[in-house]
């Protein structure tokens, strides 16, 4: 794997820490800014909204710019957004800083994903994306628990300063180690109109929906995991960083598993991972009052949720192969549509006084929808592959074995 891919994964560590760390500092932040827990949870949605809008918009706006220059600019803007969050005097200013940071994060993800898959063979796409997703996993293991500790002992603002420092380190790495690639010219130059044609494909929309529902399922719970652990399971607040770290350990394990098997068994990875997340969320809803069960199932959710992440990314690049930049942007937007929807639905459930276990039920229902959408996509894929085989056979053309790089299962 090229070293530049690992540098991109390191940068994603900073981005992921910022995106996820609010789950560990939600309570001190809410107390300091004098807002409710659901209002504080909306800061997660604010980041996700910025990602949803920013990914396709910035991908389109920077389509013909040098990718390395774009990555440097966006990572710098992200770091400034963290500084703004650290000094924010009010909830409104913090909300705005989260949106700005998310816009930069979204653009970096979209362009960075396109760079990562361009540096490896088609058959190694899931592994390349596993390295980038691994940055998120490590963010959950180290960054999010560290942010929670900082929030508890040095104030929630210190977590934002720490992420700004991480962004600066990532910026140095991108400048030094990510290769500069010339902008294609002539017939090979990127064309927005040509890339937009991917949205005529039903499989692109099915992949987007499955990704969004899977993200919503996980974030409906994860955004409120801290109060669930303390208010429902009865754990002390000091336990929150440890449980978040366990979720991150599970995420790293899941990313490793998904990265190893998704290239060869894409649909199998999706079915198994999302179905397992559905079961874990339902079981957590039933056993949320047990501290042991809550801790163990938090670890398991990290494994199941992140096993699917490389497959979901690779799936989008497979079905939108002709538009790699917008494929990365679409995947980023899809994940964060889910990250917006999940906390919002979770906040509605909490606001209705149904309790934190109902948030886990909400996540289980969303994951079940993702399983159903994946089943529809698989059926269409099998039907399309069968038609292609018949056409190739009637024309006397050898047909590629099923599982070829262009569309694996």
E strand or H helix that includes residue 130: helix 125-138
- Helix ranges restricted to H, 34-90: 37-61, 67-86
Looking at the domain assignment, is residue 129 inside a domain?
Answer: yes
Confidence (pLDDT) at 409: 41
Tens digit of pLDDT for each residue in 368-385? 999 999 999 888 888 776
Residues in the chain where the model's pLDDT stays below 70:
63, 122, 125, 133, 136-137, 140-141, 181-192, 194-195, 321-325, 328, 385-409
Domain containing 110 — which CATH number? 1.20.1250.20
User: Could you tell me the end-to-end alpha-carbon distance of the chain, in angstroms, rounded to an integer?
Assistant: 23
pLDDT, residue 61, reads 75
Residue 407 inside a domain? The answer is no
Q: Is 149:28 a contact under the CB 8 Å cutoff?
A: no
Q: Is residue 370 part of a domain?
A: yes
pLDDT of residue 393: 52
CB atoms within 10 A of CB 166: 21
pLDDT for the residue 402: 35
Is 84 contained in some domain?
yes
Asked if the structure places residue 399 within a domain, the reply is: no
Is 148 a domain residue? yes
Residue 409 within any structural domain of the chain: no
Q: Report yes or no: 25 and 159 within 8 Å, Cβ to Cβ.
A: yes
Is 405 part of a structural domain of the chain? no
Instruction: Tell me how many domains the chain contains.
Output: 1
**Alpha-carbon span 316 to 318, nearest angstrom:** 5
pTM of the model: 0.68
Domain containing residue 168 = 3-394
Q: Report the C-alpha gap between 66 and 60 in whole angstroms.
A: 13
């Amino acid at each position: 794997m090229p070293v530049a891919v690992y540098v991109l994964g390191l940068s994603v560590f900073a981005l992921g820490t910022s995106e996820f760390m609010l789950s560990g500092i939600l309570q001190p932040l809410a107390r300091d800014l004098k807002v409710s827990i659901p209002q504080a949870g909306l800061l997660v949605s604010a980041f996700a909204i910025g990602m949803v809008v920013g990914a396709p918009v910035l991908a389109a706006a920077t389509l013909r710019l040098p990718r390395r220059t774009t990555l440097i600019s966006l990572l710098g803007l992200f770091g400034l957004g963290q500084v703004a969050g650290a000094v924010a005097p009010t909830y409104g200013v913090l909300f705005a800083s989260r949106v700005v940071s998310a816009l930069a994060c979204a653009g970096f993800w979209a362009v960075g994903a396109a760079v990562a898959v361009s540096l490896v063979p088609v058959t190694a796409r899931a592994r390349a994306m596993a390295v980038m997703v691994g940055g998120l996993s490590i963010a959950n293991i180290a960054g999010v628990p560290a942010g929670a500790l900082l929030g508890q002992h040095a104030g929630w603002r210190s977590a934002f300063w720490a992420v700004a420092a991480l962004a600066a380190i990532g910026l140095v790495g991108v400048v030094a180690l990510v290769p500069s690639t010339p902008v294609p010219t002539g017939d090979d130059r990127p064309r927005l109109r040509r890339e937009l044609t991917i949205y005529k494909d039903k499989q692109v929309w099915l992949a987007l929906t499955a990704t969004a529902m899977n993200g919503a399922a996980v974030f409906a719970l994860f955004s409120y995991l801290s109060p669930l652990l303390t208010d429902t399971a009865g754990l002390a607040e000091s336990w929150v960083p440890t449980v978040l770290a366990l979720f991150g350990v599970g995420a790293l394990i899941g990313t490793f598993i998904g990265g190893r098997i998704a290239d060869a068994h894409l649909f199998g990875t999706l079915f198994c991972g999302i179905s397992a997340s559905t079961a874990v969320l339902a079981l957590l809803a039933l056993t949320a009052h047990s501290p042991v069960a809550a801790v163990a199932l938090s670890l398991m959710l990290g494994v199941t949720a992140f096993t699917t992440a490389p497959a979901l990314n690779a799936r989008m690049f497979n079905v939108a192969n002709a538009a790699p930049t917008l494929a990365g942007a679409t995947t980023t937007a899809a994940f964060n549509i889910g990250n917006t929807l999940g906390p919002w639905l979770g906040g509605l459930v909490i606001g209705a006084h149904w309790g934190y276990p109902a948030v886990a039920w909400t996540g289980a229902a969303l994951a079940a929808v993702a399983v159903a959408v994946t089943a529809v996509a698989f059926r269409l894929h099998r039907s399309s592959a069968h038609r292609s085989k018949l056409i190739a056979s009637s024309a006397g053309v050898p047909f590629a074995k099923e599982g070829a790089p262009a569309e694996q299962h």
